[in-house]
A = this chain, B = another copy of it.
Amino acid sequence: MKALISTGGQGPDFEKVKDIFTHVNLVVAADSGLNRLVEWGIEPDFLVGDGDSIDTENVATKKYSYNPAPRDKDFSDTELAIIKCLEKGADEIILIGGGEGRLDHTLSNVGMVKKYAQISLWMTSKEIITILSPGNFITHHLPQTQLSIFPLDDHSGPVKTRGLVWELEHIDLNQSMSLSNRCVDSEINWEITQGRFLLLATYE
C-alpha cells in the first residue's frame, strides 16, 4: 500500500507531483506540510504533529482527525507521520517537502530515509531523490540531468554505472559522494553490491 507524506520545508511544484496523488492510498500531513496540501486543494487522511507551524485557518477548516502531539516529544513530526503510515499498512512511502531551510531538519529527514526502508522517493523544491538498493537496474532521466550519489549506509559497497559522464566503478563511495555528476544518456545502468544510496537528481 502506497502512502504520501507532506512535511515542512520547501517542496516541489504541484505540477511535478500531482500525478502521484492518483497512485497513493493514504495521504498524511506532517505539521506545516498541511499548508502545502491545503494550497493544492488536497484533503489529507491524517494530520500529525505538534501543530506549532500549521496555519491556524487550515486547521479550523479541517475534516480529518487530528490529535495534536505535545511539542516536547521523542519523535519529529515527520517520524510521527511515518509511524502513522506504517500503522495503516503502508509498505511504500513517498516523502515531499523537507528541502532547504535548517540543516538539523535536513539531517533529520536524511536520518528518516536511512531508518525507514519503506521510503522510496523524496521530492524537495530542488531535487528528486531516489533511494537505490543493491541489485542490477536502470534509472531514467532527461539527458544531461545533474546527478549526485550519496552513500546512505555504513559500508555501502561498490557501485558500477553505465551512462554517466564520470562512471563510478573506480570510486570508493563509502568514503565520499559523487557530486554534480551528469547523465550522458537518458538511461543509467546500475550495479550495486551492498548498502543503499541516495540518488539526487536536480530538477531542470
Complex-state Cα separation, A108 to B74, whole angstroms: 28
Interface size class of A (residues with CB under 8 A): 20 to 34
Complex-state Cα separation, A110 to B175, whole angstroms: 12
In the complex, A18 has a CB within 8 A of chain B: no
Partner of A111, one of B124, B154, B176, B200: B176
Say yes or no: A110 contacts B111, CB within 8 Å: no
Copy count, this protein chain: 2
Partner of A110, one of B99, B102, B107, B108: B107
Question: Which B residues are CB-close (under 8 A) to A103?
Answer: 99, 106, 124, 126-127, 129, 200
Question: Which B residues are CB-close (under 8 A) to A166?
Answer: 72
In the complex, A120 has a CB within 8 A of chain B: no
Question: A103-B126, A111-B176, A148-B104 given as contacts; is B200 within 8 A of A72 (CB)?
Answer: no
Using a CB-CB cutoff of 8 Å, which residues 70-127 of chain A contact chain B? 72, 76, 99-108, 110-111, 115, 124, 126-127
Complex-state Cα separation, A72 to B166, whole angstroms: 9
Complex-state Cα separation, A105 to B176, whole angstroms: 13
Question: Which B residues are CB-close (under 8 A) to A110?
Answer: 107
Complex-state Cα separation, A15 to B200, whole angstroms: 34
Q: Main SS of the interface on chain A?
A: mixed
Complex-state Cα separation, A124 to B200, whole angstroms: 22
Question: Which B residues are CB-close (under 8 A) to A190?
Answer: none
Say yes or no: B127 contacts A104, CB within 8 Å: yes
In the complex, A138 has a CB within 8 A of chain B: no
Closest CB in chain B relative to A168 CB, distance in Å: 13
Q: Please, which residue of chain B has its CB at the minimum distance from the CB of A176?
A: B111
In the complex, A180 has a CB within 8 A of chain B: yes
Complex-state Cα separation, A102 to B102, whole angstroms: 12
Top 5 A-B residue pairs of the complex, sorted by shortest distance between their CB atoms: A104-B148, A154-B154, A100-B100, A104-B200, A108-B179
